[in-house]
């Protein structure tokens, strides 16, 4: 459904991605893992159109969207939860969820459904974004993305720095989201959470995809993958 084909991208004079090919199919859950600085976030920014492709192509449902700006990429049904979550601090949790509602695609995800998924957010609905814990902010960032009813959700290290019990809550929620048919790309530095959710994996190193395969190949190549992610 959404793919990068041999994409180069970077920041100023620095090239960060070297011929990256990566795809996610409708309803699929795909993991993008690798150590810090490997190029995972840059790959999501390229998928989202935040960074232009300097070479190669970006495609959605088989047609090129290489030059499509980020707001139009969103409208295709591509949701993005950045690493820093970008919660609006002065707004309440509920305002964070409903902001931008006019541009939302119609679909099953509503305020009520987000609160069903994350009951903690319902309890904290009147709290300001800045007063929420890291885990609550991550739930809020995911909930806000869901409100737009995307067809594919790009999640940049959703569990980073969070307590194990919150990691479990988020992993369960992502499984529910994907189980209802939304495609998910999950970026993590290790495979603990991706292994629970994904059947296809890509491992990045130095701005390139160093390994890609399914669950069986992943198990068979485990030593090599451990070296790539520096376990």
Ligand X SMILES: Nc1ncnc2c1ncn2[C@@H]1O[C@H](COP(=O)(O)OP(=O)(O)O)[C@@H](O)[C@H]1O
Interface residues toward Mg ion, by CB under 5 A: 40-41
Decide if 78 contacts 154 (C-beta within 8 A): yes
Tokens of 222: 């485990």
Residue entry with tokens 């485990």: 222
Question: Of ligand X, Mg ion, none, which one sits near residue 172, judging by CB under 5 to 8 A according to partner kind?
Answer: none
Q: Which class for 199: exposed (0-12), middle (13-18), buried (19 or more C-beta within 10 A)?
A: middle
The correct pick among 2, 33, 39, 191 for binding ligand X (CB under 6 A) is: 39
Q: Does 40 bind ligand X (CB under 6 A)?
A: yes
CA distance 8 to 186: 21
Can you name the residues that pair with 212 across neighbouring β-strands? 202
Q: Which stretch binds ligand X (CB under 6 A): 31-39, 94-102, 115-123, 132-140?
A: 31-39
The correct pick among 6, 25, 37, 89 for binding ligand X (CB under 6 A) is: 37
Q: Compute the least distance from the CB of residue 79 to Mg ion, in Å.
A: 17
Decide if 61 contacts 73 (C-beta within 8 A): no
Q: Which stretch binds ligand X (CB under 6 A): 29-37, 103-111, 127-135, 212-220?
A: 29-37
Which residues are near ligand X by CB under 6 A? 11, 14, 16, 34, 36-42
């Amino acid at each position: 459904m959404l793919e990068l084909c041999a994409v180069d991208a970077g920041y100023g004079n620095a090239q960060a991605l070297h011929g990256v090919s990566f795809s996610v199919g409708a309803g699929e859950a795909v993991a993008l893992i690798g150590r810090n600085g490997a190029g995972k976030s840059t790959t999501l920014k390229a998928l989202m159109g935040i960074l232009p492709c300097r070479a190669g192509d970006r495609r959605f449902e088989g047609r090129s969207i290489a030059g499509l700006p980020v707001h139009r990429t969103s409208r295709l049904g591509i949701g993005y939860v950045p690493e820093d979550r970008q919660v609006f601090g002065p707004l309440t949790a509920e305002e964070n969820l409903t902001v931008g509602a006019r541009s939302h695609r119609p679909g099953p995800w509503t305020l009520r459904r987000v609160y069903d998924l994350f009951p903690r957010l319902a309890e904290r609905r009147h709290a300001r974004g800045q007063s929420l814990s890291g885990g609550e902010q991550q739930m809020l960032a995911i909930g806000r993305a869901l409100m737009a009813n995307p067809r594919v959700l790009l999640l940049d290290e959703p569990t980073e720095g969070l307590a194990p019990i919150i990691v479990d809550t988020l992993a369960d929620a992502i499984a529910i989201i994907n189980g209802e048919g939304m495609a998910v790309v999950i970026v993590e530095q290790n495979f603990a959470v991706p292994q629970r959710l994904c059947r296809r994996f890509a491992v990045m190193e130095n701005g390139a995809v160093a390994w890609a395969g399914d669950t069986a190949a992943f198990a068979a190549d485990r030593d090599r993958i451990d070296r790539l992610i520096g376990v």
